[in-house]
Amino acid sequence: MVTSEKEAYMDQYTIRITILYDNTAYISDLNAKWGFSCLVERVGSPVALFDTGPTGPELMENMKILGVDPDCIEIVFISHPHWDHTDGLEEFLKHNDHATLVIPPAFNFSSIHKIIIASAPAIICEGIYTTGELYNFEQSMVVDSPEGMVVITGCSHPGIPKILKISEDFGRIHALIGGFHGFSELDLLKDISLVCPAHCTKLKDEILTRFPDKCIEGGAGRVIEI
């Protein structure tokens, strides 16, 4: 786990998502530039790292500031093979020699670590799923919570409508977090209870303005608890 505070917050929440890297910093001391990474903690599931940002040293520094022990991460989930989501991976693996990598077929990465190729929708472990690689490029993570499914996206290159449609096969969507790229069909967000547009989301300001009661801003250091 991350710190000795695990038991305290997990008494109140099922899922805790900590944005480790983003275009902006929610906590001013953290590194921020174009890229994305977040830590996913769920009761009853292995600790997962979603994407690794654009640079390893900056990712590791952010982890240190936030009290994240890289050795406690059991799954590394790579959404797609773009540098701003993958270039921190090799540095991270120097600090963790046991994590299982969950990667789309489009990401050609060799490692001594155990690798799961996510070519189709599947269960990764208890409470954590993958949409599988969509349009031969990108996968999204789906996490089960008592409130519904939490969908975490890298850049949403396959499109939010497609990602949501596949994710709904696992259950009702409660939250959508991550990069939305050029997504503009904002009516699709009406029935989603929590939305956090981050990283590459072009219409971030419009989404935050249109849905002020359900939207929160991202940024490195932002913590979302469900």
Q: Tell me the domains of the chain and their CATH numbers.
A: 6-225 (3.60.15.10)
> Which residues share a beta bridge with 25?
220
pLDDT band at 11 (very low <50, low <70, confident <90, very high): low
> Which residues share a beta bridge with 116?
102
Q: How far is CA 35 from the centre of its chain?
A: 12
Which pLDDT score is estimated for 110?
Answer: 86
Chain mean pLDDT for the chain: 94
Rounded to two decimals, the pTM is 0.94
- Dihedral sign, Cα of residue 66, residue 70, residue 75, residue 80: positive
Which pLDDT score is estimated for 121?
Answer: 98
- List the structure tokens of 105: 């077929």
